[in-house]
């Protein structure tokens, strides 16, 4: 019987339709204890003999693949795959899949939770009241503001109706979206310089790539509007955190809402944690209860299709592995 490792922390040792589907397909599930993110050392001990993984954010490297010749599928619960060495996976005949269309609504909701948390001082006022204070400092409205989206993929698109509901205008940068498609959403496509100069709130919805790593730095923050808000639910690596801290500390940016950092979890001395105008959540934007269930089922569906000799075209990120691939 082929073995499937359940490595995504929120799924391990928990029931769900995803698990029933695997068992019905004749696949055995293996669940490590705990819900923490697995390390390379953990995977070294768990992956030998495993054919497929329902994966979280743990690292999948060439060295690991060398030690796990039986591994055939890495099925990511989510759409980001920067933790997977995709080229190495292809060389070793391992299919890597993602779960598009399952968690964009969850990410958009968290982005707005962070936006409201910062603009309306929700977390800060709560802390003040709990220690006996009562600070009625005026808060920043969202209505009438311009939301700038760096990325207009599934998540960026999910941001648009929420922004409209709050009375915001929306502009965006996305090289893969046409002006006509953006207009259908009521979004104006602009260039990067226009985006950062015009937006009152900048929200990131891009993958972590060599081109985006560290892109948001002093050079960008200095060209944003004084008093703008910065929201990141993408990846911590796209931001230079030291530069962000400086922009927030000197008041050029009014606040930041961050669901992602680098590294995660942050060290206790991360200076962003000390700022009152920063709201941080623990990389949970894409994993509310519904999204997690949907991602798990789609990841498992990929595994089951591949085991049966079918090809989940819209989910496979390394199509070059297909010729000659077999379970």
- Tell me the CA distances in angstroms from 11 to 46, 296, 304, 315, one per residue in order: 16, 8, 17, 20
Residues 253 and 199 occupy one common structural domain: yes
Which of 19, 76, 121, 283 is flagged as catalytic? 283
Residues 26 and 15 occupy one common structural domain: yes
How would residue 1 be classed by pLDDT, with cut points 50, 70 and 90?
confident
Residue 326 lies in a domain: no
Measure the CA–CA gap between 126 and 111, rounded to whole angstroms: 19
Question: Residue 206 belongs to what domain range?
Answer: 104-280
Residues 161 and 301 occupy one common structural domain: no
CB 38 within 8 A of CB 64: no
Peptide bond preceding 167 in cis form (omega within 30 of 0): no
The per-residue pLDDT of the chain, averaged, comes to: 97
pLDDT at residue number 27: 98
Percent above pLDDT 70 for the chain? 100
CATH number at residue 184: 3.40.50.720
Q: Exposed, middle or buried, 249 (CB in 10 Å: 0-12/13-18/19+)?
A: middle
Question: What does the pLDDT average to over 64-88?
Answer: 95
Measure the CA–CA gap between 236 and 88, rounded to whole angstroms: 23
Alpha-carbon dihedral 169, 179, 212, 229, rounded to 10 degrees: -10
Residues 194 and 246 occupy one common structural domain: yes
Longest C-alpha distance within the chain, in Å? 67
How many domains is the chain built from? 2
Residue 235 annotated to the active site: yes
Which of 23, 67, 127, 264 is flagged as catalytic? 264
Which of 19, 76, 235, 245 is flagged as catalytic? 235
pLDDT, one tens digit per residue, over 167-215 is 999 999 999 999 999 999 999 999 999 999 999 999 999 999 999 999 9
pLDDT, one tens digit per residue, over 118-155 is 999 999 999 999 999 999 999 999 999 999 999 999 99
Residue 283 annotated to the active site: yes
- Tell me the CA distances in angstroms from 77 to 80, 175, 310, 318, one per residue in order: 9, 25, 19, 16
Question: What does the pLDDT average to over 289-295?
Answer: 97
Taking Cα atoms as reference points, which of 232, 291, 282, 285 lies closest to residue 258? 232
Residues 124 and 177 occupy one common structural domain: yes
CB 30 within 8 A of CB 48: no
Residue with structure tokens 């992602």? 260
Q: Give the chain's end-to-end CA distance (angstroms, integer).
A: 12
Residues 108 and 36 occupy one common structural domain: no
Residue 327 lies in a domain: no
């Amino acid at each position: 019987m082929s073995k499937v490792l359940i490595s995504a922390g929120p799924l391990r040792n928990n029931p769900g339709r995803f698990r029933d589907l695997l068992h019905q397909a004749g696949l055995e599930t293996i669940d490590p204890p705990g819900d923490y993110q697995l390390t390379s050392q953990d995977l070294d001990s768990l992956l030998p003999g495993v054919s497929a993984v329902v994966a979280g954010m743990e690292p999948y490297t060439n060295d690991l693949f060398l030690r796990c010749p039986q591994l055939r599928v890495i099925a990511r619960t989510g759409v980001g795959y920067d933790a997977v060495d995709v080229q190495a996976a292809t060389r070793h005949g391992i299919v890597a899949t993602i779960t598009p269309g399952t968690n964009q609504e969850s990410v958009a909701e968290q982005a707005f939770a962070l936006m409201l948390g910062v603009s309306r001082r929700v977390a800060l006022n709560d802390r003040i009241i709990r220690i006996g204070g009562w600070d009625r400092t005026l808060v920043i409205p969202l209505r009438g503001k311009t939301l700038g989206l760096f990325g207009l993929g599934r998540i960026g698109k999910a941001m648009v109706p929420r922004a409209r509901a709050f009375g915001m205008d929306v502009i965006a940068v996305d090289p893969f979206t046409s002006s006509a498609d953006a207009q259908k959403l009521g979004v104006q496509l602009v260039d990067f310089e226009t985006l950062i100069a015009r937006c009152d709130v900048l929200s990131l919805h891009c993958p972590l790539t060599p081109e985006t790593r560290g892109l948001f730095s002093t050079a960008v923050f200095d060209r944003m509007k004084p008093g703008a808000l910065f929201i990141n639910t993408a990846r911590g690596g796209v931001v230079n955190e030291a530069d962000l801290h400086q922009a927030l500390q000197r008041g050029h940016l009014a606040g930041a809402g961050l669901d992602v950092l680098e590294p995660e979890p942050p060290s206790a001395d991360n200076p962003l944690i000390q700022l009152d105008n920063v709201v941080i959540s623990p990389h949970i934007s894409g994993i509310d209860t519904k999204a997690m269930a949907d991602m798990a089922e789609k990841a498992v569906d990929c595994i089951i299709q591949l085991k049966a000799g079918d090809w989940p075209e819209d989910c496979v990120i390394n199509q070059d592995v297909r010729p000659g691939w077999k379970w």
